[in-house]
Amino acid sequence: MSDLHELSASRQLAALRTGQVSSRDLTEHYLTRIDRLDRELGAFMTVTAELALREAARADECLARGEWSSLCGLPLAIKDLYPTAGIRTTFGSAALGDHVPTEDSWTVGLLRRAGAVVVGKTNTPEFGATCYTENGVTERPAVTPYDPTRYASGSSGGAATAVAAGLLPVGHASDGAGSIRTPAAACHLVGVKPSRGLVSAAPATSFLSVGTEGPIARTVADAALLLDVMACPWPGDLYGWCSTTSFADAVTHPPRPLKVAMWTDTGLDGLDPHPESVHAAERAARLLRDLGHDVREIAVPARCDELTRQALATWFASSVGLVVPTLVPPGRQHQLQPYTRHLVAASAEFSAGDVMRAQSMLARYASTFLAVLDDYDVALTPTTSGPPVPIGYYLADGVEQVSDLMLDWSCYTPWVNLTGQPAVSVPSHLDGDGLPYGVQLVGRQRHDAEILALAAQLEEGSLWSDLHPPCWYR
């Protein structure tokens, strides 16, 4: 058998069930790779080797009896924004460096009950507030394994780094403004942001629901496998719904001919996309046409003008400003990162009316996208406006510039969180410097199975090659 990490998650599960490999062997393989490689990659916040081996032993007992659940024996790590009973959960903050929850979050509980073996917590920025993964807890930011001098994006940077480097078979992640899709693009992976309500945010509830958990994987089939487990809403979810089909089954059937709207305009005045980002979208459009889909280039449905930028900044800062006092005791707030302190200070200046007006403006912005795209089944864009950025890029000119720089790079993704549509980022190609680019597919609300089937069709049509970074072979 090949090195175990070379097998897809689906093939690893098949090998576990047929007895070709034990969960202990598989878990030890990944723990060894984590120990050997992660110091230079920054993928993990916490590694739980002893716990993982105990869970692997229990999984092997179940497998020996022929009793297994969908993820039985498969190693997995949880993004460190989500509570895990008995495992340190820092939310990316040094102020919570010793926080150990007593209960799992809803989705973590689903994954553990499905038999996943938890090997640790993946790296994330403080409270998930940036599209780069750097904090005061870990010594190393999460970097793309294709160039360790560049960020793996964020806030699911640790998960993407781990999957791309062969430290995990598949990754648990979350996305509030692109935080699954941009790390997937930066690491040559598949990243799925589900429709609003498909994956529960419990125990959190909100009338403005923009964030959601989802999978990061090497293949569309592996992403669908994990999404099938995660897509089980909590009964009290305001937007909860259940799919009528298995996503793992859906990706095996090509979709019907679809009408696709494509644009590469960033929607930001004065900002042009990198030529390789445009090339990525054009490659995908050509293949979609070859596969029988109707692709039409359109103008970006809504521009992100200065007022919209301000509304995004107000909404974002106010969100962080609510979270920090809830989670961080006053005596520890001096340990917060400079950008977090900047957001908290900004949020203190907003009135309730300011926040409500910002939310109203963003709702109109999102509605414009929905109205324009009503005649289309799918939207196609680049995932990012350029390649992964160098370490230190966002803070080079001070915390005041971070928000604008992040929006410039990730400008294609936040609108999808506002509309609640499903989106998948799939790999495209590596440029002449070996840096990855991805493209984003956005489907109709609650048409997650269809957009996954389209992504699988592009994978089958060889939109991207099965490439790996140098550390994959170490």
Q: Which residues are catalytic?
A: 79, 155, 179
H helices present in 231-263, as ranges? 247-250
In angstroms, rounded to a whole number, what is the distance separating the alpha carbons of residues 43 and 37?
9
Q: Return the ∠ at Cα 468 (arms to 466 and 470), rounded to 5°.
A: 155
Task: Name, in order, each residue with C-beta under 8 angstroms of 244's C-beta and a sequence gap of 6 or more.
Answer: none
Distances (CA, A) of 254 to 46, 292, 378, 444, 465: 40, 11, 15, 17, 20
Question: How far out from the chain centre does Cα 395 lie?
Answer: 22
Tokens found for residue 337:
């990162």
Question: Can you tell me the distance from the alpha carbon of 149 to that of 31, in angstroms, rounded to the nearest whole number?
Answer: 24
**Cβ atoms of 186 and 229 closer than 8 Å:** no
Per-residue tokens: 245:
């089909």
Q: What is the DSSP letter of 1?
A: -
Between CA 298 and CA 188 the distance in angstroms is: 27
Tokens representing residue 1 in the block: 């058998």
DSSP symbols for 158-191: HHHHHHHTTS-SSEEEEESSSTTHHHHHHTT-EE
In sequence order, the β-bridge partners of residue 339 are: none
Q: How far apart are CA 389 and CA 423, in angstroms?
A: 23
Residue 462 CB: number of other CB atoms within 10 A?
9
